[in-house]
Structure 1
Amino acid sequence: MIEFRRMLYFIAVAEELNFTKAADRLKISQPPLSQQIKILEKELNVTLFNRNKRVVELTEAGKYFLEKAKDIVQKLELIYEETRQIDRGKFGKLSIGFTGSVTYDLLPKLIQTYQQANPKINIILTQMSSARQVEALENKEIDIGMLVPPIESNSLKIKTLRCEPFIIAIPSNHPLANLKEPVSLLNFKNEPFIFTDRDVGHGYYDAIISLFYEVGFSPIKSQQANELQTIVSLVASGVGNAVLPASIKNYINKKVTYLTLNENNTSCTSSIVWRKDNDSAILKSFIEHVGLQDLCLS
């Protein structure tokens, strides 16, 4: 195995074509430098330099070895630098799971600002239910999740991103679609509603159900869908109404009207979650970035 140090010595001599100048450049004395080049030639079993008292020249083998040695040194220097950047959380990849509740404003804003500050981080985004994210975190499939709590795991840490009110999505041809003021859920007591599956995220589902209980009635369930975009499409088709996080208003569908609700004691909480034992510098830098975006409400 050739020592990396000898490769650097060889490059210096090959570029200077003068042992004295190369030794000065390397800040060593000439005899040890000459000795190291001889050892290198012996290891390779080739002559790298033609030498006489007046001139030092590269042989054909030496010219080839110089080209390849420079390439190796360049690649190693890049590896060293990337290793240092990984240690500082500036290079590598970050796998993020997310639910639909952060898709329309929170997630794009966070990813855009983080990517601008950390262009060498490869961000891998995967939409998952809250329940699936907990499983993926525990199995080390993702580094961080953006979900709706609560979570049931002692191995995870959680930090609240924001709490947003719920609104109601109704077809644009609904009799109340032109209302400008907040409306009560009681106005829709006898109408069907579209829900997500509780197993996908019980925190999100329970928050919506508690809103109906607060008003005093149990909703009529017409359909079930797990993606917010799908739910909005079903509303547009007249299948039913839906109670959704307020950020869904960023998703515009001309056949759907979003109304503010009078009932606002229940909100949709979005949080970031990660493994307690994950000491990745990249993960730490992302969590710190999130904290600087004025998004954490608690």
Structure 2
Amino acid sequence: MNIDTRIKFRHLVCFLEAAQQGSLARAADKLAVSQPAISKTLKELEELLAASLFERSKSGVSLTEAGVAFLRYAGPCVQALRDGVSSLRGGEYEAGAVRLGVLSTVETLLLPEVVRRLHQQHPALVVSVVTGPSAYLLSQLRVGELDLVVGRMTDSPQIHGLTFEHLYSESMTLVVRAGHPLLALPQVREALHDYALVLPLAGTTIRRFADSLFVQCGISPSRQRLETLSLALSRRYVQSSDAVWVAPLDAVRLDLRSGELVELHLGIQEPGGSVGICSNASLPLSLAAHWCVETLREVGKDYREEVYP
């Protein structure tokens, strides 16, 4: 089926702005046109597509199923054209920028490899990384301050209405410094409550997985705790004390290989949470963000096939 040549760039821009704003009045303000002009343009587009794209109400507009389906293609189409024009005007055909929200679960191994591959293919690419709890990062994604969020976040309430793509599964583990007293004990579980714990912040997705691990093992956790999402702080504190770190496996994989940290075996393994990419379907991805998604998929595939790390 050929594309109807009567569909113009202005139709797509009006559609995307109305979808993002959820209001024809706000979309009109953003585009510096009148609300009747927005309504007329959207009506033309719906007639050309022979589909209703929006549900209209007193509170604003929301996408129909057809609108959501069309958004998946209209957004990347418009963004790709904008990126193409910008690159030609700037004379930097490989330039671009992507804004990533990164959870601690992918900070140590996944992200450095993703950035390395991206820069290998796109020398002028700028990768801006923001770290923090999933609730904060997802809120920034929702308002367009971030292009993508990467990590374990499927249990976060803020993910509703956003799009999540699974990359690989990662389990939690308990680690201590080399020479820790617990390593000499035949029964680790009974003695764990005597040692300080290093845990992710309360309320985060990864903390729920950590708490679940204790429940599965029937362990009463120690009341003495360091709660943080900082991998550097967690690592240094555990290396210099008798604390026990409940950590995502990727965060400590290199330390385990070097022998600086040692895994405590409890006879049970946490089943693992889904590490993936979260995006906002109502906001078109830039060309640089598309590059990043493809590279994340490549590295995720290597994880699943145990090629990397």
Q: What range describes the TM-score normalised by the shorter chain of this pair?
A: 0.5 to 0.7
Amino acid in structure 2 at the alignment position of 1:242:
W
Q: Which residue of 2 aligns with 1:213?
A: 215
**Shift, 1:295, TM fit:** 4.5
Contact 2:195 2:242 in 1 (8 A): no
Structure 1 unmatched ranges of 5 or more: 1-78
Q: Which residue of 2 aligns with 1:234?
A: 237
Q: Which residue of 1 aligns with 2:283?
A: 278
Contact 1:129 1:147 in 2 (8 A): no
Q: Distance in 1 between matches of 2:241 and 2:303?
A: 36
**Shift, 1:85, TM fit:** 9.9
Q: Distance in 2 between matches of 1:260 and 1:166?
A: 11
SS of residue paired to 1:198: coil
Q: Deviation per CA, 1:215-258: give whole Å up to 9, x if none.
A: 11220131222212211222223262111112223454999522
SS of residue paired to 2:224: strand
Amino acid in structure 2 at the alignment position of 1:164:
E
Q: Confirm or deny that 1:288 pairs with 2:294.
A: yes
Q: Which residue of 1 aligns with 2:136?
A: 132
Q: Deviation per CA, 1:125-147: give whole Å up to 9, x if none.
A: 12222121111101211111112
Q: Which residue of 2 aligns with 1:195?
A: 199
**Shift, 1:274, TM fit:** 1.1
Q: Confirm or deny that 1:257 pairs with 2:261.
A: yes
Q: Which residue of 1 aligns with 2:161?
A: 155
Q: Confirm or deny that 1:144 pairs with 2:148.
A: yes
Contact 1:235 1:242 in 2 (8 A): yes
SS of residue paired to 1:133: helix
**Shift, 1:187, TM fit:** 4.9
**Shift, 1:91, TM fit:** 3.3
Q: Of the candidates 242, 246, 250, which is equivalent to residue 243 of structure 1?
A: 246
Q: Distance in 2 between matches of 1:149 and 1:141?
A: 18
Contact 1:194 1:221 in 2 (8 A): no
Q: Distance in 2 between matches of 1:284 and 1:220?
A: 44
Contact 1:191 1:220 in 2 (8 A): yes
Q: Distance in 2 between matches of 1:161 and 1:260?
A: 27
Say how many residue pairs are matched.
214
Q: Distance in 1 between matches of 2:304 and 2:163?
A: 16
Q: CA RMSD in A?
A: 3.3
Contact 1:159 1:272 in 2 (8 A): yes
Contact 1:160 1:296 in 2 (8 A): no
Contact 2:172 2:209 in 1 (8 A): no
Q: Give runs of aligned pairs for residues 1-298 of structure 1, distance below 5 A.
A: 82-83=87-88, 90-150=94-154, 151-152=156-157, 153-177=159-183, 185-199=189-203, 201=204, 203-223=205-225, 224-238=227-241, 240-250=243-253, 252=255, 257-259=261-263, 261=265, 262-280=267-285, 281-293=287-299, 294-295=301-302, 297=304
Q: Which residue of 2 aligns with 1:76?
A: none
SS of residue paired to 2:283: coil
Contact 2:167 2:276 in 1 (8 A): yes
Q: Distance in 2 between matches of 1:212 and 1:273?
A: 28
Contact 1:185 1:212 in 2 (8 A): no
**Percent of paired sites with the same residue:** 16
Q: Distance in 2 between matches of 1:85 and 1:265?
A: 50
Distance 1:81 1:135, change over 3 A: closer
Q: Distance in 1 between matches of 2:168 and 2:90?
A: 31
Q: Distance in 2 between matches of 1:295 and 1:135?
A: 30
Runs of 4+ in structure 1 off by over 3 angstroms are 83-86, 176-179, 183-187, 250-256, 295-298
Amino acid in structure 2 at the alignment position of 1:213:
V
